[in-house]
Amino acid sequence: MINVKYINNNSDNGIIHGIDTYDHCKTRAITGFLPLVYNRMGIKEFTDMDETLSRLEDTSLDQFWMQHALELARQAEAEGEVPVGAVLVRNNEVIGEGWNRPIASHDPTGHAEINALRDAANRIGNYRLVDSTLYVTLEPCVMCAGAIIHARVKRVVYGATEPKTGAVVSVFDVLTDQRHNHRPEVTGGILAEQCASQLQEFFKSRRSK
Ligand SMILES: [Zn+2]
């Protein structure tokens, strides 16, 4: 039996040393990827998504989905956009994915969160995304916080804080304002270092060009 406790590439105190995804393993029509779990003894591969997820503790589960959001952010980076990724999850299934692409889509609203919300609403045929959790690599802005409330997202998990435009804790507190009749639960700082360094690396390499 494998004791799944940590998802941390550098951790020596846990058994799991990293979690990755396979794009080509279409194990489910919606999720479309298979978790790969590395341990100190080598690589353990799980073919059963439900079993893997059921082994993860809540904190690890947040990290698992944040890793997926980081993957989506890499997609933005590949397209020359600021790397932010977002994934919407319900009952441990992906219902929407998005990455930042305002430049390519000629769309000022083309943030990762908006794209993930649109994708989910299209897939399930409902503009209300109740009981869903949105994982996003960067603290949402005012616009995205507004859209999250309109969509009735149940929970928001973000990675790095955004000191200039963040609308959860940094500049505004739109998501948690008591005047809204829908207020999502919020967890911040999941894989914050990885999320922040992905952005820092992007801006660093852009400056050097
Ligand atoms: Zn935004």
Candidate list 71, 113, 139, 162, residue with the active-site label: 113
Distance 45 CA to ligand 1 centre (A): 35
Taking a 5 Å cut-off on Cβ, the residues next to ion ligand 1 are 111, 141, 144
Please confirm, yes or no, whether 113 is among the known catalytic residues.
yes
- Read off the pTM: 0.78
Reported as a single tens digit per residue, the pLDDT across 170-204 is 999 999 999 999 999 999 999 999 999 999 999 99
Does residue 26 carry a pLDDT above 70?
no
Provide the H-helix boundaries in 79-184.
112-124, 142-150
Nearest one of 50, 142, 74, 128 to 96, comparing CA atoms: 128
User: Counting beta carbons within 10 angstroms of the beta carbon of residue 121, is it exposed (0 to 12), middle (13 to 18) or buried (19 or more)?
Assistant: middle
For position 93, what pLDDT does the model report?
83
Reported as a single tens digit per residue, the pLDDT across 58-95 is 667 888 889 889 999 999 999 999 999 999 999 888 89
